[in-house]
Amino acid sequence: MGLVDLLKKIEPDKKNSPFLHTLYDGFFTFAYAPNTVTKGGVHMRDGMDLKRLMVHVVLAMQLCYVFGTYNMGHQHFVAAGQYLGFIEGFHLKLVHGLIHMLPIFVVAHVVGLGIEFWFAAKKGHAIEEGFLVSGALIPLIMPPDVPLWILAVAVAFAVIIGKEAFGGTGMNIWNVALLARVFVFFAYPTTIAGDEVWVSGYNTLAEGTQASYTFAHGLFNSLFEFMGVATFQEASTHIVDGYSGATPLALAYQGGWENVTNTFSPAQMFWGTIPGSIGETSKPLIIGGALFLIITKVASWRIMLSMLIGGITMALIFNAWGATPFMEVPWYGQIYMGSFLFAMAFMATDPVTASGTNTGKWIYGFMIGFIGMIVRVLNPAYPEGWMLAILFMNTFAPLIDHYVLEANMSKRMKHA
């Protein structure tokens, strides 16, 4: 209790220093569960408040963060034909990934939380916890080399227009993290679409392009030289002949499943040692996170399963149609190629923007999988379909729940 008493003594005055009090309240409630009970004869207190519910989602993504950070470095050196084994050059790959990941993580949180804190202080209430998940998701769905100023603008747009304009946490109708991605996609398409954006550390992926290392790489080189291990060698690190940096989806557009498997093995695509968004590549880690969310009852298994069924259904229809090489990609390839599983586990299950009724969740998830697969296969202008499909179904989620409830009430009235 000594620490609690100390923290309460330094609590800023809410009236004289609203912004400081908002900051204090946010960190205090993050460290300690609410100590409140109901009035009357029944007293209830649950340590699982909204903050801790959100933290569960953040915890489920941590392995994706670790793998995605390391994979950035791995793809950088694969492009140069160096340290081709996944564990080879471990320290160089990890450091390179951290140098690119940390600024993205910091900018997303500083901008997003700064806006949240400002709005909370202006409204005179506690900090809303919704950005804990959005802030963790945004870096994972961005390209490794996204310009930080574009990221800042995208986060500001998503938080202000996508959430605060609707009343804050719990009131938004669209997924905030996806709004940040869709803003980058439509406002700065060359930053998020194309082959080159998925490999970091080069100005272009043209053959012979020399690596572009930063001041931070130089600092670590001094440490590595002291330790007697390999260092970043800018002069000898350049794009090897024949390297394209194409993702499996880009290869599928060009020549179907055979073209994909000629470049990447199914094992590479499943384990995630391929170019792509930072957090989307490793399927076992995404599945592990999804299972964690299901076991803790934080996310809906109905949405995940129905989205899987919807995606497979449309993929099988395309397989039967077979009008283009991309349509002939087997359904299981469509599932573990790209960001389907990541969108299913962490995006579609957002409890605020998804359907709330059990029947509605089946419809909502199925339609995301079904529509997203159509966009992916039939519209080559978009690198993925799940972003647009989820935002589209976010819009219709309240309507779905309305008709589900109307049907239930009508059924009960007939029995009455």
Specify whether 299 is located in the same domain as 177.
Answer: no
Query: Among 301, 326, 182, which residue's Cα sits nearest to residue 250?
Result: 326
Residue 235 within a domain: no
- Boundary (domain end) residue, out of 160, 194, 229: 229
Range 190-196 average pLDDT: 80
Which helix (H) or strand (E) segment holds residue 87: the answer is none
The pLDDT assigned to 27 comes to 63
Specify whether 84 is located in the same domain as 225.
Answer: yes
Residue 6 within a domain: no
Specify whether 65 is located in the same domain as 163.
Answer: yes
220: left (phi over 0), alpha (psi -120 to 50) or beta: alpha
Between 223 and 44, name the one with better pLDDT. Answer: 223
Where does residue 143 rank: exposed (0-12), middle (13-18), buried (19+ CB within 10 A)? buried
Specify whether 395 is located in the same domain as 287.
Answer: yes
Specify whether 185 is located in the same domain as 269.
Answer: no
Q: What share of the chain is helix, strand, coil (3-state, %, to 5)?
A: 65, 0, 35
Euclidean distance between CA atoms 133 and 345, whole angstroms: 13
Residue 4 within a domain: no
Specify whether 198 is located in the same domain as 252.
Answer: no
The pLDDT assigned to 271 comes to 94
Euclidean distance between CA atoms 197 and 207, whole angstroms: 15
The pLDDT assigned to 42 comes to 60
Residue type present at position 412: R
Specify whether 72 is located in the same domain as 181.
Answer: yes
Which helix (H) or strand (E) segment holds residue 41: the answer is none
Specify whether 323 is located in the same domain as 250.
Answer: yes
The pLDDT assigned to 372 comes to 95
Specify whether 53 is located in the same domain as 180.
Answer: yes
Residue 44 within a domain: no
CA 231 to chain centre: 31
Q: Note whether 389 and 353 are within 8 A (CB).
A: no
Specify whether 99 is located in the same domain as 138.
Answer: yes
Residue 7 within a domain: no
- Given pLDDT bands bounded at 50, 70 and 90, which one contains residue 235? confident
Specify whether 257 is located in the same domain as 402.
Answer: yes
End-to-end CA distance of the chain: 56
Least confident of 42-56, 109-123, 215-229, 292-306: 42-56
Euclidean distance between CA atoms 395 and 174, whole angstroms: 7
Residue 3 within a domain: no
How many domains is the chain partitioned into structurally? 2
**Residue range of the domain that includes 200:** 12-33+49-206+214-229
- Given pLDDT bands bounded at 50, 70 and 90, which one contains residue 385? confident
The rounded mean pLDDT for the chain is 88
Euclidean distance between CA atoms 178 and 386, whole angstroms: 10
Maximum distance among all Cα pairs of the chain, rounded to whole angstroms:
82
Euclidean distance between CA atoms 131 and 177, whole angstroms: 9
Residue 241 within a domain: no
Q: Per-residue b/e over 13-49, b at no fewer than 16 CB within 10 Å? A: eeeeebeebbbbbbeebeeeeeeeeeeeeeeeeeeee
Residue 2 within a domain: no
Contacts of 139 (CB under 8 A, 6+ apart): 65, 101, 104, 105, 108, 278, 279
Euclidean distance between CA atoms 173 and 354, whole angstroms: 9
361-372 tens-digit pLDDT: 999 999 999 999
- Boundary (domain end) residue, out of 194, 229, 264: 229
Q: Which residue reads 């309305």 in tokens?
A: 402
The pLDDT assigned to 32 comes to 61
The pLDDT assigned to 224 comes to 96
Specify whether 193 is located in the same domain as 279.
Answer: no
